[in-house]
Amino acid sequence: MVQNIVGEDDFQKKVLDSKVPAWIDFWAQWCAPCLAAAPLLEDLAAEYEGRVNFFKVNVDENNSVARKYGIAAIPTMLVFKEGRPVRQVVGYKAKREFKKILDEVLAE
């Protein structure tokens, strides 16, 4: 299962200090494309379990985290590796596009 919720209090520990890459889904409950992407991300979390951690950041509840990373539209996904963002995806994409990004990050 995926998508652990992460926020201001635990972002450092769960994302920035992580030994494995982290996929962060910046979303909101009222965002239809965000809700549409959720099942894809659940599938990817299962497929990449142990190699990539998946988290959700609710932008309404954790606005300071969203601001810090320049999130201007949702859904926006950031992939962190070694404590820094290395990829950004804005909007809903096909699963194969998400997989391509993850595979690239893991190969680096």
Mind telling me the catalytic residues? Answer: 31, 34
Half-sphere exposure of 53 (CA within 13 A, CB side): 20
CA dihedral for 44, 46, 47, 51, sign (positive or negative): positive
